[in-house]
A and B are shown apart, each in its own frame.
Chain A
């Protein structure tokens, strides 16, 4: 992850309840507990190989295809301008 994206992610304000404010675009968004967890990992600079097992462990998820769900969530963040277009976790 490039430093600009990481810096931008770190600037996101996320509340206990999952309310998200992007200080750059002024956009707001609400995420559930899973989304909040993924975001926190992204903010720590974690990549997909680290996010997937962490998510499995935290939410006790079996063999389901998690990776596509994570990408889908990341795309949602991109569509809402929280992440740059070219970003991949």
Chain B
């Protein structure tokens, strides 16, 4: 086995009660015996918790917000390349992916690699186009309607009976029981996330999530299905366990084959009591529970790092069924000088 010595930038360091995936991805990379590289944390807020664990990151930089567009991002990455010799970035937040995808070829010229879906793949898996993919891939999908006008809700019940799920274009989902609730949820959701909203058939069942990496040619490099066993009040998984269910892997394979998915993704599947499987969402990035990969024997972030650098990924073994994670919250002690350095310089170097 060959050592991996590159400098890897990872975003999503907001390890809060609704954690970004960054820390989980970093811990997984570090857990690989061949990882001898450095980790650069890329954060958006001086109080992002992932800026402070000195055992996990070698240095860190504050980044311009995705809403500022691609130019500030390009400039910042150019600077980080110069100072820290950044070789690749694993972006982990939905909101920044578009900008990274559009810069991929420029960054490659700069010597910064990515392993992400193409713009077309990224758009295809969006909530408003997922039904299309499911049809192509012959996968079950809840009945869905995209709407931009609250009036439509009054005529919807024939197509999708109440109760149904009303989802924001990027985030947020509410189960609504009546037209009145639906109208309220429509305005609440559009005020936060804009138009359109997604109306989806409400299905009762158990949710399963699969973290996977597609090679961009239609194959999966690895995939790990998990059942959340404890949820927070925000519905985020606080504990989970790897499960054995060939159907979940089959769905993931079909999705990757149909889209020729390149890079990491999280596939969300609902299994109903009558054993039907519905693909409900694709997140185009690693999830916050990625560290389960390290415990279950399939180090997917390391595979992504290898692929980004043009290396063949080390063959992954079968994952271990019954591997559990239980998340924990910790207080990190931080010297005020450290915070000062991050705020005043926008960067910090621990080693």
Question: Chain A interface (Cβ within 8 Å of chain B)?
Answer: 11, 13, 21, 23-28, 81, 84-85
Contact = CB atoms under 8 A, between A and B. Distances in A.
Contacts of A84: 275
Nearest to B228: A26
Chain A interface, DSSP helix/strand/loop, else mixed: loop
B206 interface: yes
Contact of A26 (B241, B273, B274, B275): B241
Contacts of B321: 23
Contacts of A23: 243-244, 321-322
Nearest to A23: B244
B207 to A, nearest CB: 11
Contact of A24 (B226, B229, B244, B274): B244
Contacts of A81: 206
Nearest to B247: A24
B227 interface: yes
27 contacts: A11-B244, A13-B322, A21-B241, A21-B322, A23-B243, A23-B244, A23-B321, A23-B322, A24-B243, A24-B244, A24-B245, A25-B206, A25-B227, A25-B243, A26-B226, A26-B227, A26-B229, A26-B240, A26-B241, A26-B242, A26-B243, A27-B227, A28-B229, A81-B206, A84-B275, A85-B273, A85-B274
A25 B247 CA distance: 12
A20 to B, nearest CB: 11
Interface in B290-338: 321-322
Nearest to A8: B244
Could you say which interface size class chain B belongs to?
10 to 19
A85 B273 CA distance: 8
Contacts of B274: 85
**Top 7 nearest A-B pairs by Cβ distance?**
A26-B227, A23-B244, A26-B241, A26-B243, A23-B321, A24-B245, A21-B322
Given A26-B240, A85-B273, 8 more contacts: A13-B322, A21-B322, A23-B243, A23-B244, A23-B321, A24-B245, A26-B226, A85-B274
Contacts of B244: 11, 23-24
A27 B227 CA distance: 9
Contacts of B242: 26
A87 B195 CA distance: 46
Nearest to A11: B244
A47 B156 CA distance: 49
A71 B241 CA distance: 29
A87 B229 CA distance: 25
A86 to B, nearest CB: 10
Contacts of A85: 273-274
Contacts of B206: 25, 81
Contacts of A28: 229
Report which residue of B227, B273, B275 has the largest number of chain A beta carbons within 10 angstroms of its beta carbon: B227
Nearest to A21: B322
A30 to B, nearest CB: 15
Contacts of B275: 84
A5 B127 CA distance: 35
A10 B113 CA distance: 46
A15 to B, nearest CB: 11
A64 B217 CA distance: 64
Nearest to B321: A23
A42 to B, nearest CB: 19
Contacts of B241: 21, 26
A28 B322 CA distance: 10
B91 to A, nearest CB: 29
A24 B245 CA distance: 5
A77 to B, nearest CB: 14
